[in-house]
Amino acid sequence: MAEHARRYDELTGLGFGLAAISVDVIERSRALAGQLQLRFPLLCDPGRDVVRAFGVFNEKEKGGIAYPATFVLDRERIVRFRSLDKTASRVDLDALFELLRAGGDASAPAEPRRTRIAPGLRGFGRAIGNMLRYGIKSPKP
């Protein structure tokens, strides 16, 4: 989400909007949005209804959270691209923006490449600090 926030102007410049969905309660989502300085809506789904409907519900982790995923919807709200990602591998934003710029051009790649995510020592330290500060389980609905 942090990279999406950094590239928000570029995305909106292409004519797209952005929203994120969290299974956290509104207070926790607001804190995260503030910490990451998000300029796009972070929607709350503590009942996990939306993440279940979109097929990204991960019941095995932290009491039930969403898998990382990217969906591109057109103006009629039809899903035109969907990437179900993993913790260590996500859709590459440069490649996704290239796909969005192509606007359905047949020469565009069918699916953007993925980027491996390997957090450094600082990332692990932040994750452990957040775990100690906020706990390791999301509140159950």
- With a cut of 90, say whether residue 75 has pLDDT above it: no
- With a cut of 90, say whether residue 27 has pLDDT above it: yes
pLDDT, tens digit (0-9, with 9 covering 90-100), for 109-127: 455 555 554 556 776 677 6
What's the CA gap between 18 and 90, in Å, rounded?
Answer: 17
Residue in the block written with tokens 């047949």? 106
Q: Are 21 and 50 in contact (CB under 8 A)?
A: yes
Query: What's the confidence (pLDDT) of residue 106?
Result: 40
Query: What's the confidence (pLDDT) of residue 120?
Result: 65
Structure tokens at 4: 């999406």
Q: What is the DSSP letter of 6?
A: H
Query: What's the confidence (pLDDT) of residue 54?
Result: 87
- With a cut of 60, say whether residue 104 has pLDDT above it: no
Query: What's the confidence (pLDDT) of residue 109?
Result: 45
